[in-house]
Amino acid sequence: MELSPTFCSSLPDFVRNKEFQCYRSNDFGLVVHGLWPQTYQASSIRDQPRNCHNEQQLPLAIIKRYYCLMPDEDLMQAEWEKHGSCYFKTATDYFNAIEYLFNELKTPDIRAMNQPTSSSIKNAFLRLNSPQLFPSAIQVYMDKQGQFDEIRICYDLQYNYISCRQ
């Protein structure tokens, strides 16, 4: 997941002004970047499954249904093709899984935090999701300016939390 305002502020003006999630009237907070079914034992990005099928364009109904979770049509298509199609039978199954995991996870209001750090963000997620969620199942990334960039939550295939690979 990533914080939409941080993502938008990282874009050049000419790009930002074309991104739906960056329009001033839109108020997206945490949004999903993707769900990446991966091989747990993989030691590099080359060990991960990629682009397993030549997928058709996502139907408009799917884009509309899940747009508030992942407010970028191109990203939705790319994540489904690159990662989702390697494990899920259909795009609907893939986006249903994303929605389920997003809704099950209690998320803090990072925008309301005073100068959040990776530790304070991680601790906020742990407080809200204990005792199931544990520290090694979360990876928090900050950008070069020290702003929150993204958080990764690691799951097994039954959607139980697992330790993330480093």
Range from 26-30, 88-92, 132-136 carrying the lowest mean pLDDT: 26-30
Domain ranges of the chain: 2-42+49-153
For the segment 108-133, the average pLDDT, to the nearest whole number, is 95
Active-site annotation, residues: 33, 79, 83
The separation between CA 46 and the C-alpha centre of its own chain, rounded to angstroms, equals: 20
For the segment 104-122, the average pLDDT, to the nearest whole number, is 94
- Determine the Cα–Cα distance for residues 17 and 106; give it in Å rounded to an integer: 30
Task: Give me the pLDDT at residue 2, please.
Answer: 78
- Determine the Cα–Cα distance for residues 126 and 43; give it in Å rounded to an integer: 27
pLDDT(120) > 80: yes
Q: Supply 62's token pair.
A: 């799917």
Q: What is the pLDDT of residues 2-16, one digit of tens each?
A: 776 667 676 666 665
Task: Give me the pLDDT at residue 38, please.
Answer: 67
pLDDT(20) > 70: no
- Determine the Cα–Cα distance for residues 17 and 28; give it in Å rounded to an integer: 15
Instruction: Enumerate the H helices of 38-154 as residue ranges.
Output: 60-66, 73-82, 91-104, 118-129
pLDDT(55) > 90: no
Q: Which residues contact 59 (CB under 8 A, 6 or more apart)?
A: 91
Task: Give me the pLDDT at residue 113, please.
Answer: 93
For the purposes of burial, counting CB atoms within 10 Å of the CB of 40, is it exposed (0-12), middle (13-18) or buried (19 or more)?
exposed
C-alpha dihedral, 29 to 35 to 41 to 47, nearest 10°: -110
For the segment 45-74, the average pLDDT, to the nearest whole number, is 82
Task: Give me the pLDDT at residue 30, please.
Answer: 76
C-alpha dihedral, 58 to 61 to 65 to 69, nearest 10°: 20
pLDDT(71) > 90: no
- Helices 91-104 and 73-82, interaxial angle, to 10°? 110
C-alpha atoms less than 13 angstroms from C-alpha of 122 in its C-beta half-sphere: 14
Summary mean pLDDT of the chain: 84
Task: Give me the pLDDT at residue 83, please.
Answer: 86
- Tell me the whole-structure pTM to 2 decimals: 0.79
